Structure 1
Amino acid sequence: MKTSTDRRRFLRLTMAGIIGITLGDQILQKKALASTELAHLEEDDPQAAALKYTHKSPHADQHCSNCMLLQGNEGDEWRPCAIFPGKAVNAKGWCSAWTAKPA
C-alpha cells in the first residue's frame, strides 16, 4: 500500500508542477506583450500596400474593429492583427483580408 500512496503523491505533485509552469509562463507572456508597444503599420508598408490597408476604412460596415483577425484589447485605437505580425493596425482601418467576426 505504501507504494500506491507514494505513486499518487508523485503524480499529484507532478501535475501541480506542470500546471504551475504553464500558468506562470502565460502570465509572463501577457506581461511581456503589455510592456511592449507595437509599431504602427504604415500604409506604404509593402505588405499593407499589397492588401490595400488604409488607416480609415472606405466601407461603413467593414473596419478592423469588427474583423475577426484583429487582436488585443477591445476599445484600443491601435491593436495587433494576425495578418501583420509585430505591427499594430488602426481599429478604424481596413484591408482586403477583412473577415467579419462570427455573430
Structure 2
Amino acid sequence: MTTRRTFIQIIPVTSLALLAAQQARAADVDPKDAQATALGYVVDATKADKAKFPKYAAGQTCANCQFYQGKAGDASGACPLFAGKNVAAKGWCSAYAKKA
C-alpha cells in the first residue's frame, strides 16, 4: 500500500528520471538553422565547403572536436555551440578544435 509519504518521496526521483530522458532525446541540429549556417555546420564533414572554410582538413569531425560531448562510438552527441541539440559525430563546423 502506497502512503502519502512514499508518494511524496517518489515525485522528485520520477521528475529527475523524466528530465534525464528528455535530455537524452535532444533534437539534431538542422544544417539550415541560422547558427549552423553561420558556422558552416554539415552532417558529413567530407562535404564541408573548403572554399568558404579553408581551415577544414581531412579527418576533422565533431567526434574528435573538444566541444563534442557524445561518447566514443555514438552517432551523435551534444555540443555547447548548439545548446540543447545534438550534432552528428561525422559532422563538422568552423568552430572545430582538436580534442586534447
Superposition TM-score tier, normalisation by shorter sequence: 0.5 to 0.7
Q: What is aligned with 2:30?
A: 42
How many Å separate the matches in 1 of 2:30 and 2:96? 17
Tell me how far 1:64 sits from its aligned partner. 0.3
How many Å separate the matches in 2 of 1:45 and 1:73? 24
Q: What is aligned with 1:32?
A: 19
| Residues paired across the two proteins, number | 75
Q: Post-superposition, which runs of at least 4 consecutive aligned residues in structure 1 deviate over 2 A? A: none
Gaps of 5+ in 2: 1-15, 47-56
How many Å separate the matches in 2 of 1:32 and 1:70? 21
Matches within 5 A, 1:61-76: 61-76=59-74
Higher RCO (CA 8 Å, separation ≥ 6 residues): 2
Gaps of 5+ in 1: 1-27
* TM-score normalised by L of structure 2: 0.67
Tell me how far 1:82 sits from its aligned partner. 1.4
Give the helix-richer structure, 1 or 2. 1
**Larger deviation: 53-62 or 39-48?**
53-62
RMSD over aligned Cα, in angstroms?
Answer: 2.1
**Larger deviation: 88-97 or 52-61?**
52-61
* TM-score normalised by L of structure 1: 0.65
